[in-house]
Amino acid sequence: AAGPTARRGRPGVHPAVRYLGGRVLTALVSLLAVMVTSFFLFRVVPGDPVAALTRGRSVTADQLEAMRRDFGLDQPLPQQFADYCLGMLTLDFGMSYQYRVPVSELIAERLGPTLLLAGAGTVIAAILGLVLGTRAGWRRGSLMDRVDTGIALTLWSVPSFWLGLLLIVLLASGAGLFPTGGMSSPGVEGAFNTALDTAHHMVLPVSTMVAVVYAQYMMIMRSSVLDETGADYLTTARAKGLRDAAVLRRHAVPNALLPTVTLVFLNLGRVVSGVILIETVFAWPGLGSLFYSGLRVPDLPVVQALFVVFAGSVIVMNLLADLVYPLLDPRVRT
C-alpha cells in the first residue's frame, strides 16, 4: 500500500503548465519547419539574382563571379544552408542583393506601414462583422439578414487584387476622389496635414481589405448568435421582463463572441501576410510590396526573411489564440 500512496503524494505537472508547454513546443516546431522550407523553397524559384541585377549592363565574367562570391552563391548548398540557419537564429537576415542594405533594416522600415494598413483593416472589419453578424443572426430570415449575408458572401468570393483594381478604376483614375497609390503625396508638411494625407491614401486599400475580410467575422458571429437564440437562459431572461434588446446585449452577444474573438486572433497573422496583393496593387510601401519586389529578382535574403516573418506571425497568433481562449471560456480549462 505504501507504493501507490507515495505515488499519489508526488506532485505532478499542473495541467495549465502542460497545456502551455505543449502549445509553445508545437509553435517552435512549426517555426523550425518554416525556416527550413523558406530556404529550399526559394532555391527552386526560377531566376538568377546576378543575371537579373546585371541585365542590360556590360559586365565581364570576372565581375559576375565576384558578385556571386559577394552574395555567397558560390558556396555549396549545405554551407549556404548552415549560414542561413545561423543567421536566422541570430536574427541576422543578411544583406539585400538589390538594395545593398541589411534586410533587418528594410523590414524595420517597412513594418510600420504594413501594421498601419493591416491594423486599420482588421479593426474595421471586426467591428463591421460583429455588428452585422449579430443583427443578421438575431433577425434570421428577415430581408435585412438576406441582404447582409448576400453582400458579404459576394465580397468574400471576390479576389482582393481584382476588387482593388476596380476601386482604382472607378474612384481614383475615373472619379479622381482618391489617390491611385502610395502612402503620401509630395509636398505635404506638418503632422496634422501628413496624417490627413495618409488617411486619404488609406481609404481604398483599407476598403479593399475590409470588403474581403469582414464576411468571415460576420458569418461566424451570425452562426454563434443563432446557436444562442434557443438557449434556456435567454428564455429565462425574457421571463424576467427584460426587453429584447437587453437580452441580446447582456446575454446573447457575450456568449456568442467567443468563436469570433478566436477567429480575430487567428486572422491577425494571416492579415499581415495577406496584404501582399493589396500593397502591390496600391503601391503601398510595406512588407507586401517589398516581398513582391524581392521575388522578382529573386532577392533571396529578403524573400526568405519575409517568408519566415509572415509565417511566423501566423504561428504566433495561433499560439496567442490557444492561450487566450481558455481565459475567455472557463469550460476549456476543465
The predicted model scores a pTM of 0.80
Residue-wise pLDDT for 262-292, tens only, equals 777 777 777 776 788 898 899 899 898 899 8
Confidence of residue 67 (pLDDT cuts 50, 70, 90): confident
Confidence of residue 72 (pLDDT cuts 50, 70, 90): confident
Which residues, in sequence order, are CB contacts of 22 under 8 Å at separation 6+?
none
Task: State the pLDDT at residue 9.
Answer: 45
CB of 88 closer than 8 Å to CB of 308 = yes
- Residue 186 half-sphere exposure, CB side, CA atoms within 13 Å? 0
CB of 217 closer than 8 Å to CB of 129 = yes
Q: What is the mean pLDDT of residues 43-55?
A: 81
Task: State the pLDDT at residue 298.
Answer: 86
Mean pLDDT over the full length of the chain: 84
Q: What is the mean pLDDT of residues 19-44?
A: 87
CB of 145 closer than 8 Å to CB of 136 = yes
| Cα(30)–Cα(18) distance, integer angstroms | 18
- Read off the C-alpha cell for 24: 509553445
| Cα(149)–Cα(183) distance, integer angstroms | 33
CB of 137 closer than 8 Å to CB of 226 = yes
| Cα(303)–Cα(311) distance, integer angstroms | 12
- Read off the C-alpha cell for 135: 443583427
DSSP secondary structure, 69-111, as one string: HHHTTTS-HHHHHHHHHHHHHTT---B-TTT-SBHHHHHHHHH
| Cα(67)–Cα(63) distance, integer angstroms | 6
Task: State the pLDDT at residue 55.
Answer: 82
| Cα(107)–Cα(112) distance, integer angstroms | 9
Instruction: State yes or no: pLDDT of 6 exceeds 60.
Output: no
Query: In the chain, what is the straight-line distance between the N-terminal and C-terminal CA atoms, in Å?
Result: 30
Residue-wise pLDDT for 168-222, tens only, equals 999 988 788 898 888 888 888 888 888 999 999 999 999 999 998 898 889 888 8
Q: What is the mean pLDDT of residues 314-332?
A: 74
Residue 57 or residue 8, greater confidence: 57
Task: State the pLDDT at residue 200.
Answer: 92
